[in-house]
Amino acid sequence: LLSGGSNELVVSAPLSELYPSNAEFRVTYDTSKPDLVAKCNLKKALRVNEQQWLILQLSDESSPPASPASSGTGSPPAGGKTAAGDEVLQPTLRIKLLLSGPYRPEINAIATASKNWFNTVDGFADAGGSAISSVVVELPKKVPALKYLLVPAVPLAAVSVALVPVLVGVLIVGLPFFLPFLAVIAAFGASVGAIGGVLYLSTRPGREKLSPMLSSAYTTFLHTQTGQRFIYDTGSRPTPKALAQTLLPKDMMAKLIVCLVVDFVGSSSYLLPGVGEVFDVAWAPTQTILIAAMFDHVSPNLKYVSFVEEILPFTDFIPSATYGWVREFGPVILGESGRKIHDLTVAVRGEKEALRETVGIKMA
């Protein structure tokens, strides 16, 4: 569909059909010259709802296909040389494309619910801001006697500080008995802290502090094909393994930290014997997906071992994730160490030979 007298061409079709398609552009001459054709794969060349300039290499249909499209405004590559040795430039087509489409229904629902939640929190903050200010700021000014409450508070604080070593000693002596209770208290405290953190991050100041980090992470994720398929309605959804491969780190040390965290979470069921095994039922598939995403290229069967050791009772101590890290990076570390030891041995041998020659010359 050509819009008005401009050069704009609009193709209307579901995003799930356009996204995996190949677009073909044809330049037709009025003369007897052959048509020039350029092709590009839309999902590799474009990002949804982001306008981009592309430079497409045109070629005769009878000639070999041109290289893929490149984005930007760089200089066209050379197309070869004539028999006389003159350089011939490859004809190109510079075109601006926009692939637009909707979010997935679940992503759209999450965005709508988040917007409504933020509006609700902002409403409560605006309504309660004056009341909180009157209690925190105005009340002490009107009732100066409140400062006298510090008189009994100081000795109570001193007694509490003095009792801390006693409480720590009791907890250490009775650790086997108190451990389940401490785990429950820690879980309750973590839940309260998480709820408080979510409430704070939902306010305007919290969103302003979190926005730069989340915006950067979201943009990086959206620039991947997995992110495009996850956010927009481009057809089939990415698998959990593909999502994990996109989100998890690739470098050696970051991967080691992730592996140690995975093994720690898997072994944490021992904190609550019996009850913790119920947690393994939910954690085992998650750990299997993470290990498959990180180490399928090194050890394809490790994910099955991980699932079995996590789902069976009393086998959670096996560090499956760390074992996968050793399988991937162990040979690299050992190879580098071997090369360094070899270089050191050669250097020491050379120094010994040089020392013998020096001693022999002096004795002569």
Pick the closest to residue 176 from 278, 275, 267, 273 (CA basis): 273
Residue 240 has a CB neighbour count (10 Å cut-off) of 15
Is residue 79 pLDDT above 60, yes or no? no
Contact 213, 134 (CB under 8 A): no
Per-residue pLDDT, 344: 76
Per-residue pLDDT, 309: 86
Residue of 104 and 155 predicted with greater confidence: 104
Residue of 298 and 74 predicted with greater confidence: 298
Rounded mean pLDDT of 328-346?
77
Per-residue pLDDT, 231: 93
Per-residue pLDDT, 8: 78
- 311-333 pLDDT, tens per residue? 887 787 888 899 999 988 888 78
Q: How far is CA 74 from CA 47, 66, 68, 207, 256, in A?
A: 19, 16, 14, 39, 40
Per-residue pLDDT, 116: 94
Per-residue pLDDT, 362: 59
List 22's β-bridge partners, or say none: 41
Rounded mean pLDDT of 196-209?
88
Is residue 136 pLDDT above 70, yes or no? no
- 265-280 pLDDT, tens per residue? 888 777 666 666 777 8
Pick the closest to residue 56 from 78, 34, 71 (CA basis): 71
Per-residue pLDDT, 346: 75
Residue of 362 and 188 predicted with greater confidence: 188
Please count the residues of the chain.
Answer: 364
Q: Residue 361 — very low, low, confident or very high, per pLDDT cuts 50/70/90?
A: low
Q: Residue 104 — very low, low, confident or very high, per pLDDT cuts 50/70/90?
A: very high
Per-residue pLDDT, 312: 83
The burial class, CB within 10 Å (0-12 / 13-18 / 19+), for 325 is: buried
Q: Residue 364 — very low, low, confident or very high, per pLDDT cuts 50/70/90?
A: low
Q: Residue 1 — very low, low, confident or very high, per pLDDT cuts 50/70/90?
A: very low
Per-residue pLDDT, 2: 44
Rounded mean pLDDT of 254-262?
92
Bridge pairing between strands 22-27 and 52-57: unpaired
Distance (Å, whole) CA 68 – CA 23: 12
- Is the pTM higher than 0.75? The answer reads no
- 275-312 pLDDT, tens per residue? 667 778 888 899 999 999 999 998 899 999 999 988 88
Distance (Å, whole) CA 70 – CA 92: 11
Is residue 75 pLDDT above 50, yes or no? no
